[in-house]
Chains A and B, each alone.
Chain A
Amino acid sequence: AQKITQTQPGMFVQEKEAVTLDCTYDTSDQSYGLFWYKQPSSGEMIFLIYQGSYDEQNATEGRYSLNFQKARKSANLVISASQLGDSAMYFCAMREAYNFNKFYFGSGTKLNVKP
């Protein structure tokens, strides 16, 4: 079974609107961490936001927030007030406590922000 599933290969959003990128995960571990990365067309991988499995509050970092629904095993990234510079690939990833060294990545979502 896939550890991380991103079901949206591509998304469009109008500039200044909010967009949600979906991520579901599969683990039997009680302790795990969820990460989102951004990969612009220039190619580098940029860490955006982290959510721990025991965190009671949804994580927020500037215009990025994480809609964490533990029972549904989903960790969706919400980008508010989209900007043209948000056009990029976005990857969801997970790290489990029982195997700290391995990160599982989803297949990514390509976000296009329209002017």
Chain B
Amino acid sequence: DTAVSQTPKYLVTQMGNDKSIKCEQNLGHDTMYWYKQDSKKFLKIMFSYNNKELIINETVPNRFSPKSPDKAHLNLHINSLELGDSAVYFCASSQTRQINQPQHFGDGTRLSIL
């Protein structure tokens, strides 16, 4: 019973390609997130959706486009991939207005650009 699942786990592709990462949570949470973790392990928030509405949009190139078809799903599409996009991308979810509730993370998608 995976709480937050993201696919694929690994993504190896060439520069210039377009790719998508999917995320689903079965925790009933109303907020979902995308994070990028670079090679130095720094976690950077990219986007957050609350009940399908975009609420956090950090400084991210517009080649990255999130989509939330419903509150249990948050997908990330990346156009024209660049070498600097190589990283681990984490999906996470949380419940709003319950400050003691942590984020739950997926296992990450390791994206490698050749």
Contact = CB atoms under 8 A, between A and B. Distances in A.
A81 interface: no
A52 B41 contact: no
Interface stretch (A12-20, A62-70, A72-80, A95-103): A95-103
B44 to A, nearest CB: 9
A35 B102 contact: yes
Nearest to B110: A43
Interface in B57-104: 88, 90, 92, 94, 96-100, 102-104
B99 A45 contact: no
Contact residues of B: prevailing secondary structure:
strand
**A-side interface mostly:** strand
Interface string B35-55: 000001111010010100001
Chain A CB count within 10 A is highest, among B33, B43, B103, B108, for B43
A43 B102 contact: no
B105 interface: yes
Given A45-B90, A47-B104, A32 B99 contact: yes
Contact of A102 (B42, B56, B100, B102): B56
Contacts of B94: 101, 103
Interface of B: 31, 33, 40-43, 45, 48, 50, 55-56, 88, 90, 92, 94, 96-100, 102-105, 107-108, 110
